[in-house]
Amino acid sequence: MRDQPEQQAPPVQRLRIRYAKRGRLRFTSHRDFSRAFERAIFRARVPMAYSSGFNPHPRISYAGAAPTGAASEAEYLEIALAEVVDPAVIRTRLEEALPDGLDVIDVVQSPGGALADLLQGSHWLIDLDADPATTHDAVAAFLAADAVSVERMTKKGLREFDCRAAVVALSAVDRPAGARLDLVLRHGVPAVRPDDVLSGLASVAGLDPAGAPLLTRLAQGPLDESTGTVGDPLSS
């Protein structure tokens, strides 16, 4: 009979980490980031707790990753440690080990519970090369609609869903080279992304910006439905 694998000791500490994807590193896929992060924790000599089984792996929980190509100031993960370490020490070590553009913003002690449950909404900025007046009209038409159906290819094939219901707040402001959308999205199933909202704006008003839009997530966390604001999950 095959020998049973060694059982790993349970974690003694859990830390929650906020990090950013900036510049060219916004094109890093979630899979590429997870590989880079695992290499970084090895170089940083972080005393990780490992799973049990024949192929132990470091205990890392990812939540709410931004789409590839989107910049973000609010990406989150949680790590489990085999030793108690000052979160500030872990932050310094990871900052030194990760490449520029994947930047650690904060590391705090986990209070327990599921991090993913706190990520209820996201605040986005979307910079468009589009006529400001046309963009304002498109936003007004979108917000006036009861539902806006869009299609997106998923792992289960082409799926149609309403992107309007997930929009908590949407406004447009002028930029020297076009327009900027300020967007707050409610997280749900199916997950509505900023590019789905752009598809919806094209559907209801024919908004067709030139070039690729620049997507930046400013915040991700608890959603206040009454004010349309997104809070900090690390302070919860």
Number of domains composing the chain = 2
Q: What is the average pLDDT value for the chain, to the nearest integer?
A: 94
State the residue range of the domain holding 170: 120-230
Q: Among candidates 86, 205, 73, which has minimal Cα distance to 139?
A: 205
Q: Do residues 121 and 223 make contact, with C-beta atoms less than 8 angstroms apart?
A: yes
Radius of gyration for the alpha carbons in the chain, expressed in angstroms and rounded: 20
pLDDT in tens, 20-50: 999 999 999 999 999 999 999 999 999 999 9
- Measured distance CA(103)–CA(98) in Å, rounded: 7
Q: Classify residue 236: in a domain, yes or no.
A: no
CATH number at residue 164: 3.30.70
Look at the block and give the residue holding tokens 């979307």.
126
* Structure confidence by residue, pLDDT tens digits, 72-125: 999 999 999 999 999 999 999 999 999 999 999 999 999 999 999 999 999 999
Position 6 in a domain: no
